[in-house]
Structures are given as C-alpha cells and as structure tokens.
Amino acid sequence: MSNTDSDSSTSTRSPLIGAIVAQVLGAVVSVLLFVFIMPEILAYPVLAGLIQGASASMMSYRLHAPRWWQAIHLAFPPLAVLGHSLALPPMVWLIAFALVLLIFWRTDQSRVPLYLTNATTAGALAQLIPSGPRYVLDIGCGDGGLLRRLARSRPDCEFVGIEHAPLTWLWARVLSSSLSNVHIRLGDFWKQPLAAYDLVYAFLSPTPMPALWLKVREEMRPGCLLVSNSFAVPDQNPLNIIEVADKRQSQLYCYRPGD
C-alpha cells in the first residue's frame, strides 16, 4: 500500500475512541457520585446529565483531547436527556443520523469537516490560475460552490471536484449541472491521480497535510501549483502566501511540489 492511500492519510487514531473513553470514565465518576454522595440528584435527570457531561469533559481534558471536545462532552448528556424527553418516534433520530452521515460522511476518519470557501477567497484563487486553458482540481469540493464561481470567471478552463460525502456530492452535482466546464465526481481524493492538473486546491485540516504533501510530490507535474487554504504543509516553505482580505483573514499557501 502506498503512503498516500487513505488509511495512511490520517496519522492519529479516531477521535471517537477517545470520546467513548472520556464518557465511560465520566460515567464511572458520576455513578459513584449519584450512588454514594447525592442520590437525590437522580430526580432531576437534566442536572444528572449535566454532571455526567462535566465529568466526561474533565476526563477529555485529562486525555488531552482538543478543547472543543470538552464542550461537546459537557453538552451531550443533558441534550440527550432533553431529546429523550421529547418522546419523538425513533425513526426521527434514525433519519437525522442518516442525514448527518450522508452530508459529513466519515469526518472521524478523514478529520476534514465541511466548511466552504468564501467569495473573496474564491476571487483570490481565481487570480492564481495561469492564463490559457487549464485543469483545476478541488480535492474535497463540498457543495461545489467554489468551482462554480471559478468556472464562471474562467470559461476557458476545466474544473473538477471530488467529494466523498454522498449527499454533499449530489448537491454539488445538481447545482453544477448547468456549467459544462464543471465536473463533480463522487470518490476519495486519495485515490485520484493528480498528474493531469495545473492547479490543485485543498481546504482540508492540519491532519492530512503531511500525507497530502507526499501525494502531490509524487504525482504533480513540474510548474503546477498546490494551493492550500488556511493549512500549511508542515516543514515546507511555501512559494508564497496570499493574504486574503476576507473577515477570517484567510491565507492561501502556494507550493510547487513537482519542481
């Protein structure tokens, strides 16, 4: 197996395992608390949930999980209690789970959530596409909005987007169907050869960047450009960094991996 295959694209273990461990350890603490110190709290299920959340959050902190996991641990048990009290048909929860899965897919494995490139950044990226007919690839294209913006400004170029989340891919495909120079594909970008592209755009997360660098070094042609929104390749000097004048002060890291 090559080191750019999807298994090696995520260097750390799934955060779900850490989350389960934190909740289980938190449950041990809160059950001891409920049984031996304050049994009366069980008459107030939301409060009991909040105590379980706080214990799990503390465990998550001790396990060195990223800070935002602590907020999730704190909120999850009381929200679960509240959700249960709504007495909704189980099918509602199943449908909600299926929708989340189809939109976000295996974020726990890819470590790349869904967020979208804004119009200002798309404008800055358009300036980086060399003149003449070019092939541009967005690895993990989300709703395809970025590609549609680029395609309208550069009708002489072909824009390909690859997306693995089924519903997100379908949404991108439907919205892009009127543009003949946008091609949205369902699949895993780790399996997508990159040699055909003049510019590869990535808006991912810090986790896949080292493996992405190995892939682009192996596959991209000399003179072609990798542009990464917000996430630099560790230990590599970019050719340049474009400071985008948007609200979040995005940075576009530009590399020539094939040179």
Ligand X SMILES: C[S@@+](CC[C@H](N)C(=O)[O-])C[C@H]1O[C@@H](n2cnc3c(N)ncnc32)[C@H](O)[C@@H]1O
For residue 163, state whether it binds ligand X (rule: CB under 6 A). Answer: yes
| Contact between 224 and 258 (Cβ < 8 Å) | yes
Q: Which stretch binds ligand X (CB under 6 A): 115-123, 129-137, 232-240, 241-249?
A: 115-123
Q: How far is the CB of 114 from ligand X (least distance, A)?
A: 4
Q: Which of 51, 81, 165, 220 binds ligand X (CB under 6 A)?
A: 165
Q: How far is the CB of 157 from ligand X (least distance, A)?
A: 16
Please tell me what DSSP assigns to residue 33.
Answer: I
Alpha helices, DSSP H, located in 15-144: 15-32, 45-62, 67-85, 90-104, 107-110, 119-126
Q: How far is the CB of 160 from ligand X (least distance, A)?
A: 12
Phi/psi for 240 (5° steps) reads -160, 165
Q: How far is the CB of 110 from ligand X (least distance, A)?
A: 4
Q: Pairing state of beta strands 135-139 and 158-163?
A: parallel
Q: Pairing state of beta strands 225-229 and 199-202?
A: parallel
Q: Which of 69, 159, 171, 190 binds ligand X (CB under 6 A)?
A: 190
Q: Which stretch binds ligand X (CB under 6 A): 63-71, 80-88, 161-169, 214-222?
A: 161-169
Q: Which residues bind ligand X (CB under 6 A)?
A: 6, 105, 110, 112, 114-117, 138, 140-142, 145-146, 162-165, 168, 188-190, 203-204
